[in-house]
Structure 1
Amino acid sequence: MKHLIAQITKFGIVGVLAAIIDFGILLALVRYAHMNNVVAGTISFLVALAFNYVLSMKMVFTHRDDMAKWMEVSIFAVSAFVGLLMNDVIIWLATSGLPAGAVHTMHEKYALYTSIGKIIATIVVAIWNFIIRKVFLDAPSSTKSAGRQQRSISHRIGMWSLNHDPFSPHE
């Protein structure tokens, strides 16, 4: 339990730093470049995602020895894509009631609604990310029984990935 609390704390710190980057880029693009909030949200999300991936895999989660790196990156990419979709839909919903062209005609209101949407999206996507990364990417704790570890879906996916490298030449 101590390990999980420490891990959630580290995940929170990395997440807050990534959220600051994400939010800062989003607001700069919406407020100063008058960019559409979904386009700006996608750009800011992807920049923050790269930062988050590097720090999360170095400081928060432990690489699974029973999973190939290509599979780790693939799982991260798929979960990030789902997170990006959630992010963009929530940001879009936040301003969907405003008239067309609100980014220019009602700029302050548009930026405010975008910010509220981004706060909600950040919370939803952070929960999604932690669960997916914990289940699929984090190495199992030494307290889990070997039988339970071997029956887990993440172990089976990992073992499959070690035996099926799509980047090696086929004979």
Structure 2
Amino acid sequence: MSFIRRAHKSQVVKFLIVGGLCAAVEFLLFALLVHRLELEYLHANMASLIVAVVLNYLISCRFIFKRGRYSGKVEFAMFVLLSAIGVALNQYLVWSFIEQVELHVYAGKIMAIGLVAVFNYFTKKHIVFMN
């Protein structure tokens, strides 16, 4: 039983590290697009999310999760589908935090990343990779 707990904790730690890396890339790209290229924040959010999702898939397959019971194509399609739901959730949260709650654009983005990370972990672990 303790082996299972250690393995799960190790997987969570790896997920947090990879997620943190991808979140940093996502946030830095978002900031670059908003403040340097003056892209509208929702468009910048979408672009930064796409880059982060692809990066996260590549790293997750390699370092966090073992291949699931699905073929590579099905696995990637499920990853993309669940990531699209996460992207929609992220877009909604960013908009809500900025427009409704009136948080600073960076604070809203950081809060959205944190909340969607929980959704991402559980869907990737229990639906996509099933391990």
1: CA distance, partners of 2:66 / 2:35:
38
User: Could you tell me how far apart the structure 2 residues matched to 1:68 and 1:75 are?
Assistant: 11
Deviation at 1:94, TM superposition (A): 2.4
Q: Which amino acid letter does the alignment assign opposite residue 87 of structure 1?
A: N
> Residue 45 of structure 1: which of 9, 28, 49 is its match?
49
Aligned residues: 127
The letter for the 2-side match of 1:125 is V
Alignment CA distance shift 1:50-1:121 (3 Å): same
Given that residues 75 and 129 in structure 2 are in contact (C-alpha distance below 8 angstroms), is that contact kept between their aligned partners in structure 1?
A: no
Deviation at 1:138, TM superposition (A): 2.6
1:115, distance to aligned residue in structure 2 (A): 0.7
> Which of 98, 104, 111 is residue 95 of structure 1 equivalent to?
98
Name which of structure 1's ranges 121-130 and 131-140 shifts more when overlaid on structure 2. Answer: 131-140
Structure 2 partner of 1:35: 39
Counterpart of 2:64 in structure 1 is 60
1:4-58: CA deviations, max 9, x gaps?
Answer: 0000000011011101100001011111222111100000111111111100111
One-letter amino acid of the structure 2 residue matched with residue 51 of structure 1: L
| Regions of 4+ moved over 6 Å | none
- Counterpart AA for 1:129: N
Which segments of 5 or more consecutive residues in structure 1 lack a partner in the other structure? Answer: 99-109, 141-171
Deviations 1:103-143 (A, max 9, x none): xxxxxxx9x71111111111111111100011022354xxx
Q: 1:113 to 1:137 in 2, by over 3 A?
A: same
Scaled by the length of structure 2, what TM-score is found? 0.89
**2:75 paired residue number:** 72
- Give matches, 1:107-126, under 5 Å: 113-126=104-117
Q: Higher helix fraction: Structure 1 or Structure 2? A: 2
Q: Which amino acid aligns with 1:132?
A: T
Query: Structure 2: which 5+ residue stretches go unaligned?
Result: none
CA RMSD of aligned residues (A): 1.7
Give the alignment's TM-score, normalised by structure 1.
0.69
Is 1:9 aligned with 2:13?
yes
Q: Counterpart of 1:134?
A: 125
Give the letter aligned to residue 93 of structure 2: I
